[in-house]
Structure 1
Amino acid sequence: MATLLKTLPFKSPPPLSPRDSSDGAVAVEEDATGDEGSDFEETTSSAIASLLQSYKEALASNDESKVADIEAFLKSIEDEKVDVEKKIASLLEELSIEKDRILRISADFDNFRKRTERERLSLVTNAQGEVLENLLPVLDNFERAKAQIKVETEEEEKINNSYQSIYKQFMEILGSLGVEPVETVGNPFDPMLHEAIMREDSTEFEEGIILQEFRRGFKLGDRLLRPSMVKVSAGPGPAKPEQGESLEGADVVESTETSETVESNETAEGSETTETNPGA
């Protein structure tokens, strides 16, 4: 049996030699490796066929010792196969666990990257907001000075034009940074955007509509830099014709028409009576 086992080439394929840097050497090495693998498979198949043939001969000759040796050898191969399958299953499980771990790490990193980007944008927006909030009083001074300027001479006109250019450039810079004024007059009062400092009766606007703006408010995206100071209508709004007055007018017209009809009937009856009694 030992002689039979020696004929079986149950060994690993020959190791690959170090690759040469030239393409020709790599091609030759790959061809050689392919030939060695093919020879190994052919030798293994031949050995298995020889083993099976020996097993048949042992059974035919009733050589129990040889049969037992071959069966023990086949059993060892089967046991080794089971062990290899268990190792493969264990490796596949470890691979699945590692794959899930890598996916979780990748997802955590992606969430971290997104969170970091949001925090960065939030810091930039907050920094811009703080700077712009400090610049708004300067804008208020510009607008107050603009309202008080009275141009009388050509030199004053030049100064005023320069001043207006600076103011326009300032507003353009605010707009480029995303700063927008809060809408006020004619719009409904919003406590999240407006600060009501006065209420006044109005026949032009309904209750809750903004009548006048005292100080402009500004937004930076969704962030309110400061609210607008406004005056809000307390109503009652535009006058509407009352239903009672309309009905009263209709009653007057109907009453007049009825009186005219009665007078016409009385006149007609008097004429008929005169014609019936001419001697009276």
Structure 2
Amino acid sequence: MRLPIVSMEDSELFPKSNRLLLPSSLAAFPLEAFEKLNALLDKLWWSRLVISVRGYVINYIQDEEEKLFLCDDAFIQIHVIFAERNHQFSPSQFIRDLACVSSFPQINEDLLELERNPGFEPNPFTQPETTESFLRIFGRPNAATYHIANCQKHAYLVFTNILRLLIERWSADCASKKKGIRFDTDPEWQPDDRVVLFQQFYQGNRTWVLTDFDRHIIDFWKPNGAKVVFGDRYIEKKKRAGFLLCDHCGMLEQCLDQFPQFKQHRFCSEQCLASMLDANQISV
């Protein structure tokens, strides 16, 4: 059976709106179908799904620095759990927790009220049937946690909803009727213009402006991070035009001859040069 195909032009997955739409509560999550699909998915599929969802969400909040920072923390955790499989929580455990959080009645509104008034009831952090999931995802109940949760809900609710829709389509074998990107194999993969990732890349700036999420993705996939982010065909096209990659992390130049060279090794930052020296990739 084909894996779910994703398109940023799919208005059900990625609604085009002047504000980010958050559900008050999501329908029951198809946990059994998730387990079947999860057994088929590889880290590249998961990574590109997280990149797409993260970019879609951040597009709406990129001018809100704290919210962007906290949502990036959430998306990094999602990436670590589902793509990297290097976390104390398994994907199965985490998706059950996300399902619990997203299905709590009026979750969007209640998290907002909890931030405004920590004594608000009903409090999902203290309800017997939901407390463990909320504690695992957000932390112990206090005013600081409620603030973080109200910011990070943008990441968790949108990701859970998109994943739920993809699983339901896959279960109904509807994926073959949709046109879009095959995350696992498609060399044409390239983020939609509305995806905010390496947001300064297309603006001709001579310096990189990366968020924590960007750095995490590049570091995890090094030295092939740029190919994962921008797609094989795009990178090959840029290389034919004379653009080079950092020999350590795989970052792509924004302009010709941007990256300095040391002993025939290109590097995008002093950190990458130091890493190559420490790893004896460059002999001094």
Answer whether TM exceeds 0.5 for this pair.
Answer: no
Higher share in helix: 1
TM-score, with normalisation over the residues of structure 2?
Answer: 0.21
Structure whose CA Rg is larger = 1
TM-score, with normalisation over the residues of structure 1?
Answer: 0.21
Higher share in strand: 1
